[in-house]
Structure 1
Amino acid sequence: MNHSETIVAQATPPGRGGVGILRVSGPQAADVARLVLGKLPRPRHADYLPFMDNHNVTLDQGIALWFPGPNSFTGEDVLELQGHGGPVILDLLLKRITSISGVRIARPGEFSERAFLNDKLDLAQAEAIADLIDASSEQAARSALNSLQGAFSLRINELVEALTHLRIYVEAAIDFPDEEIDFLSDGKIEAQLNQVIARVNDVRAEARQGSLLREGMKVVIAGRPNAGKSSLLNALAGREAAIVTDIAGTTRDVLREHIHIDGMPLHIIDTAGLREASDEVERIGIERAWQEIEQADQVLFMVDGTTTRETEPAVIWPDFITRLPASLPVTVVRNKADITGEEARIEKVNGHSLIRLSARSGEGIEVLRNHLKASMGFAGNTEGGFLARRRHLQALALASTHLLQGKEQLTGTKAGELLAEELRAAQLALSEITGEFTSDDLLGRIFSSFCIGK
């Protein structure tokens, strides 16, 4: 990246609007101000000025804001022009600014990238800007704002600091064996290491919630034909999203609905009834159903309560349960409680959840909603939570793996040097989250997903 270049981009969405904003950042931002405005505005004051072309003919007039570096979003000199939101006017103004030597259109996310590289934001905070813009619920927006204000970064930095202290103690004991510190046997190292492992696990749990808020939980409704899967989709969606008939095999393809339960986004997926296919179209639908099931966060195993009294999934349909991934949470949903006379409720049966409800009448639907929220850790509010991305979860998982391997070295082989190396690797994994240690390739992928003017 060439930071000697000055960049410009539209910071408001494309199309017509009451206000259109152009943002300029870089060493020539002051020259842009003098050429377009005829003067350099007062720092951090709103000046109402004409915006002129290269013949000093007024293109528009509006508010000009001048932020000299390093006291700006990017850490560089920044000029912001707030004019009328017509696309023609904004395009003329963009052409005027880019006609100035050394000024070019910004790449997607380049303003945030410069803020990161100039230590105005860490990487997790920079990502939170995009997450705040893309938030699909109030809860997601609040959590993204918490991340932007540094809540997630603070948790990670505390872990890194704890690992730093632990590494200092371990490596000092290795380097100065004459001090007679039996750090492998006195229990202090193991106690500190266990504390760090527990704290990493806590942050992983919070990050998983943050990832679900950002990306949504994928819930697949699966079962035999005519069990009431489409009726359940409609009940959860609150509308007639799927065709419902008494004919078995009505649903032949995957149906998707995006809903929110108290701010938690869910991707509810209705699938074709699982059975021996009667034709090629149904066979394809069943194959797609299994693809969705294997990628789910949660499976609702729909059972027609009028056909069996069994509650154990392995007894109801052994072949179905055997094919499921071992780690996939399964909730048995006994449908048609309005016909069987069963009370709509949730209970635990041999370690799995069982919900009795009626998708047609709506009895027990609220029980299911609360179960979905609670099963993913959203039983309480997440006011102090933060958003997280898949790469954050992967980094935390990697750090946890290295810490557990380090504990094995400590308690098993008592190899101090190997313990120190595992601690170092865990610290590097955590540092990738905030960008303290991050490859240029990863930075490019992250910031390229941003809006042009961010």
Structure 2
Amino acid sequence: MLARHQDPIAAIATAPGRGAVGIVRVSGRGLAPFVQDLLGRALQPRQAHYLPFPDAQGQPIDQGLALFFPAPHSYTGEDVLELQAHGGPVVLQLLLARCLEAAQTALPRLRLAEPGEFTERAFLNDKIDLAQAEAIADLIDASTEAAARSAGRSLSGEFSKEIHGLRDALIHLRMLVEATLDFPEEEIDFLRKADARGQLSNLQQTLAGVMQRAGQGALLREGIKVVIAGQPNAGKSSLLNALAGAELAIVTPIAGTTRDKVQQTIQIEGVPLHIIDTAGLRESSDEVERIGIARAWEEIAGADAVLFLHDLTRMNAPEYIAGDAAITSDLDQKLPENVPVIDVWNKLDASTHQPPQAVAGHEAVRLSARTGAGLDTLRQRLLQVAGWQQGAEGVYIARARHLEALRAVDAHLMEAAAQLMSDGPALDLLAEELRLAQNALNSITGEFGADDLLGVIFSSFCIGK
């Protein structure tokens, strides 16, 4: 544990701004003398005391609730003091300053907490594991109800329980392999009698389920970036407004009205979708519009999916056909192959033309952004593109690093299976693949980890957490 982890820390633990209640939190070892000096009395453990919070001259800064949680029965695993006062920024700053002032004699090393340091200490003191610590931040940042519920499952330990189950099964299999390595003179075929192949196969099947649920959880946390692209006046801004259910973008019959991107996050069945309306794609001599078009291509290049909007009312116009063909060619060149392009034919209400059923082998979506006809079909198509499985149960929140670790586990188990299935398995290589798989699993829950990884994770927290 680093030296800074020995220091007592203090911070305002509620969000900035005005509120009904605000909290100042102090955590450290041996806080009882500090509590006595600060409040002029001792506090009964885990009981709320309504009392004045005095300044250095004994005059009340405010009145509120004080709670003292002796170690180890606290959020951080250390002694914790919480002062719950009225939630004005000035009041809370005065209380925090008073804590630092009172600590000069009773708690001389007290300092302001760094971002995420309270939760970091909870992790270091074995109150929670690393996946649960990350779930706290994800619960705070959740943008949808489904994301919040999934983060709650991770915080309660469901994700960690699955990882621990995988790890325990992996340790048992490693034990068998290591025993075979350590006692080569024995003629007993440990691996065959213990059904090592069956154990490894079960491990891989269980891992596949965990990866599927974690992938769904990562989708709930991150969502996907969807860019609406197309020629001017195809109805891109109207489609953004229809999906968002609000007039976010200006809509006019004048081509080139949208000069810069307009972004809105919506949710479909709890999945966040970051929808971006962009400038119409065409050749332009207008400098401002050209900048907008360049920015549109920048957004398209970073998209998870692209809605290529077509105008049904102009579908047979030679110039319009040529413009769509040019955009299609540019998309083929600039987009990675794994980024889906959904062809959307708009203005169904204003045209008698029959749009194509499919474009380039892909099913097209037909709709009217003005009337809303076909929007539900588009929403379901977006969920399909995102990889969301409707009715998924038991999804827990996950991060990109969790998925990366699980993919590493999968790769190591595949290598292990290849060794185990060979006629003359190299047991030392098999043991090494299993060890590397276990290390990847351990990195999810923080069974071991470098300080720089912890720093990256906890620095994204708010100060009071």
- Please report the TM-score for the alignment, with normalisation by the length of structure 1: 0.89
The equivalent of 2:34 in structure 1 is 32
Distance in 2 separating the partners of 1:350 and 1:408: 39
CA separation of 1:106 and 1:246: change in aligned 2, threshold 3 A: same
- Tell me which moved more, 77-86 or 349-358: 349-358
* 2:396 equivalent to 1:386: yes
Matches within 5 A, 1:124-273: 124-180=131-187, 188-273=195-280
CA separation of 1:187 and 1:59: change in aligned 2, threshold 3 A: closer
* 2:383 equivalent to 1:361: no
Matches within 5 A, 1:334-413: 334-341=345-352, 352-382=362-392, 384-411=394-421
Instruction: Identify the match of residue 49 of structure 1 among 42, 51, 54.
Output: 51
* 2:105 equivalent to 1:105: no
Instruction: Check whether the contact 2:343–2:359 (CA below 8 A) recurs between aligned residues.
Output: no
Q: CA deviation at 1:34?
A: 0.7
Q: CA deviation at 1:69?
A: 0.8
CA deviations on 1:415-436 (whole Å, 9 max, x unpaired) are 3222221221122112111111
Aligned residues: 451
Instruction: Check whether the contact 2:347–2:368 (CA below 8 A) recurs between aligned residues.
Output: yes
Instruction: Identify the match of residue 332 of structure 1 among 329, 337, 343.
Output: 343
Counterpart amino acid of residue 151 in structure 1: E
Residue 225 of structure 1 aligns to a residue whose secondary structure is coil
| CA RMSD after TM alignment | 3.0
CA separation of 1:414 and 1:290: change in aligned 2, threshold 3 A: farther
Residue 185 of structure 2 aligns to a residue whose secondary structure is helix
* 2:441 equivalent to 1:430: yes
Instruction: Check whether the contact 1:184–1:414 (CA below 8 A) recurs between aligned residues.
Output: no
Counterpart amino acid of residue 54 in structure 1: A
Distance in 2 separating the partners of 1:164 and 1:378: 33
CA separation of 1:172 and 1:236: change in aligned 2, threshold 3 A: same
Distance in 2 separating the partners of 1:85 and 1:93: 11
Q: Which runs of 5+ in 1 are unaligned?
A: none
CA separation of 1:10 and 1:383: change in aligned 2, threshold 3 A: farther
Identity %: 58
Instruction: Check whether the contact 2:116–2:464 (CA below 8 A) recurs between aligned residues.
Output: yes
Q: CA deviation at 1:79?
A: 1.4
* 2:425 equivalent to 1:452: no
Instruction: Check whether the contact 1:342–1:356 (CA below 8 A) recurs between aligned residues.
Output: no
Q: CA deviation at 1:287?
A: 3.2
* 2:69 equivalent to 1:62: no
Instruction: Check whether the contact 1:370–1:379 (CA below 8 A) recurs between aligned residues.
Output: no
Residue 136 of structure 1 aligns to a residue whose secondary structure is coil
Instruction: Check whether the contact 2:176–2:191 (CA below 8 A) recurs between aligned residues.
Output: no
Counterpart amino acid of residue 116 in structure 1: F
- Please report the TM-score for the alignment, with normalisation by the length of structure 2: 0.87
Distance in 2 separating the partners of 1:195 and 1:306: 56
Q: Which runs of 5+ in 2 are unaligned?
A: none
Q: CA deviation at 1:241?
A: 2.1
